[in-house]
Amino acid sequence: MSLEAYSIIDSTLREGEQFINAQFTTEQKMRIAAALDEFGVEYLELTSPQASPGSLADLRAIARMGLSARVLTHIRCHRDDAEVALEAGVHGVDVVIGTSSRLRQFSHGKSIDEIIETASEVLPWIRRQCPDVELRFSTEDSFRSEEAELLRVYLAVDRLGVVNRLGIADTVGIASPSQVSRLVGTLRRLTHCDIEFHGHNDSGCAIANAFAALEAGATHIDTTVLGIGERNGITPLGGFIARMYTHDRATTQRKYRLDRLRHLDMMVGEMVNVDIPFNNYVTGFSAFTHKAGIHAKAILNAPETYEALDPHDFGLTRYISIAHRLTGWNAVRARADQLGLTLSDAHVKALTQHIKVLADEHALTLDDVDNLLRNWGNGRKIAD
Ligand code: HCA
Ligand code: CU
């Protein structure tokens, strides 16, 4: 299945701002916006201008940057919010309202009929004010909402004929890929709108759910850099990109500047004071490391044997570790070649056995192995 015509809505400047450690300055927000734009995301979603005076000023500043990415802001289903948002000069507004019984009871207190009534008043009003604005309507906690009620809301909104996109939100990160697929498929069949998916990662399905949404016909996926957001966040941009690359490498490379991913992860990680996890998609320190002798041999012959992602496409390099008991002679030979040493196969094989014995006794470093290689390479076989 070809998945090319989707857009990324990066919400680092909205959902990401809800991450516990995030406290972006205006200058930091502008740097994030510029870096995401350079990477090639199609949209940036920013915090509601109603949140604080600074949020309004930052929204205005970023809307005026003249980026290729379209600037959206995220607002409640209120006329007041919409009015301020439209005055800020955004390309689009992402309107959200909670539909689960919990949110209806504990958040805004509205019944389903009242939600439909509010949406039927606010959305056409926005459209009248701004005929060209991109308008999205989303339900919060879509997957813990009663399905019949949820559909009643979406169908009523679709019938208004003023909305470009319907959003689905897995607000507490409990949906499975098959649930996402079913709901997106249903909306595809029953409505005329584009479909956006926003998925939290509480139970580890955020990337799989985003992919399932696309396969079922979604057109827009929400991400944040490193996945930052409320609690443990949403679909991470890098992980989503890794997924799309393994699905269709050429399209992913055409759409996005993959070599900018590391800069984005590092920059945002620094701003929110977190290290990039060792096993992070693409940019984790072990993402392109290889250890076992059997792996190393195949990697040296044909890297794709054990690499679904080519590090060079992301401006990165692979690392083959040789200083351990699982090492193999092909990898040791490659290191000798790197160091410009001439050793016979018999020598390399004997040295590899020697390394294994040493590594059983104590941890070795690459320097230790390099010294052994140099000594053996010079014809001086040292004792230990
Ligand atoms: C929020 C909730 C939200 C909204 C998602 C959306 C969620 O923090 O306001 O507008 O699609 O996860 O439900 O982020
Ligand atoms: Cu969210």
3-state SS assignment for residue 96: strand
55 shares its domain with 129: yes
132 shares its domain with 253: yes
- What's the pLDDT score for residue 1? 58
Pocket test of ligand 1: the residue of 12, 15, 108 to mutate, having most ligand atoms within 8 Å of its CB, is: 15
238 shares its domain with 331: no
- What's the pLDDT score for residue 346? 94
Among residues 241, 271, 301, which one ends one of the domains? Answer: 271
295 shares its domain with 161: no
- What's the pLDDT score for residue 378? 66
Nearest residue to 223 via CA among 1, 5, 11, 7? 11
31 shares its domain with 107: yes
Among residues 218, 244, 271, which one ends one of the domains? Answer: 271
Residue 336 sits in which domain range?
Answer: 289-377
Among residues 223, 241, 271, which one ends one of the domains? Answer: 271
Q: Would 281 be classed as within a structural domain?
A: no
User: If you take atom 5 of ligand 1, which residue's CA is the nearest one?
Assistant: 169
Which pTM value belongs to this model? 0.94
Could you give the number of structural domains in the chain? Answer: 2
- What's the pLDDT score for residue 315? 97
- What's the pLDDT score for residue 65? 97
Atom of ligand 1 nearest to the CA of 15: 14
177 shares its domain with 310: no
Q: Would 337 be classed as within a structural domain?
A: yes
What CATH number is attached to the domain comprising 263?
A: 3.20.20.70
* Chain center to CA of 258: 12
Q: Which residues are catalytic?
A: 295
Say if ligand 1 is within 6 A of residue 198 CB: yes
Q: Which residues pair with 137 in a beta bridge?
A: 95, 166
Q: Where would I find the H helices in 235-317?
A: 237-247, 249-255, 261-271, 293-301
40 shares its domain with 107: yes
Q: DSSP characters for 193-250? A: SEEEEEEB-TTS-HHHHHHHHHHTT--EEEEBGGG-SSTT-B-BHHHHHHHHHHH-HH
339 shares its domain with 308: yes
User: If you take atom 10 of ligand 1, which residue's CA is the nearest one?
Assistant: 96
Q: Which ligand is nearest to the CA of 94?
A: 1
Query: pLDDT tens track of the chain, all 384 residues?
Result: 568 899 999 999 999 999 999 999 999 999 999 999 999 999 999 999 999 999 999 999 999 999 999 999 999 999 999 999 999 999 999 999 988 877 777 777 889 999 999 999 999 999 999 999 999 999 999 999 889 999 999 999 999 999 999 999 999 999 999 999 999 999 999 999 999 999 999 999 999 999 999 999 999 999 999 999 999 999 999 999 999 999 999 999 999 999 999 999 999 999 999 999 999 999 999 999 999 999 999 999 999 999 999 999 999 999 999 999 999 999 999 999 989 998 999 999 999 999 999 999 999 999 999 999 999 876 555 444
